[in-house]
Structure 1
Amino acid sequence: MSEASPAAVQALRDAMTRLMEGRPKATDGKMTKENLYREAGVSRATMNRATVVMAEWDAYLDQHGRRTVGESRRDAEITELQRKLKAKTQECTQLQQKLEAAATVIGALHHDNEAMREHIASRGGTVVSLDSRRGATD
């Protein structure tokens, strides 16, 4: 079996670079041998004769996997968005807990205020509103 021509080897290397960089011209960009030979514009048999290029292809896939650059970027972005969502969800949970605690305190203070007003009124006292005095000091 003869080795692939230098032109075919170069076409395969160029196609491999485009696929690795996520900028295919003739395929969907997935890291498959079918896409490699189609991207290069050569036959599968010609690709298989380019043993050096095929060894480089296999070594690259062994090291980097079959994900394209775009897929890796997408996955990294998804991971970052999931991290941010988790942090915001925790923040919302903490704020909800603080809001519920504040509502409980406000309710208790309102109840105490009403009880104190009733107590003062039952002894004949008068409760003076602070609203009129607040405006004078502002």
Structure 2
Amino acid sequence: MPVSAATETKLREAMARLLAGEPLHTDGSLTKENLAREARVSHATVHRAEEILGEWNAKVARPVRRTPGEVQRDETIAELRKQLRETKAKANELQGKLDALATVTANLYFENRELKEKESTRPEPGGRSPRHRTLEGVRSGEGARWPERPRRPEHVLRPRGYEQDHGT
């Protein structure tokens, strides 16, 4: 079933644009699908236009080559993907360091609190108890009370080798 003269004209113009590397409606690769898209007709219409399809096959019988624009685009995409991989690797490395530093900081905080508590419970020279130092509860008339000791959160991990170095 042949195609109309208007459709044949559209297909010839689209073929000329694609072969010249100046597509208007496609990425420029030399495929029958792009011929149909460039001509703004259906894929089935391209296959009904047997004469034009024969010309297309004769001109595009060689391996499909990428246009210079496609080559540049693909090189740009490859470079951007490489940069993305490198950036993600660096981000993962920095996140690992940040996690390790947060763990060490949390451990140092709790060790510091424990040392302060031990220091505050040691008797002072002269036999006086350090409990007189705290004012919590004194103002309310209840007498001196020690504040609640914060507990180490279960989610805080100790760095590798911590147990060997600190005997815990």
| TM-score, with structure 1 as normaliser | 0.50
| TM-score, with structure 2 as normaliser | 0.43
The structure with more helix, counted as a fraction of residues: 1
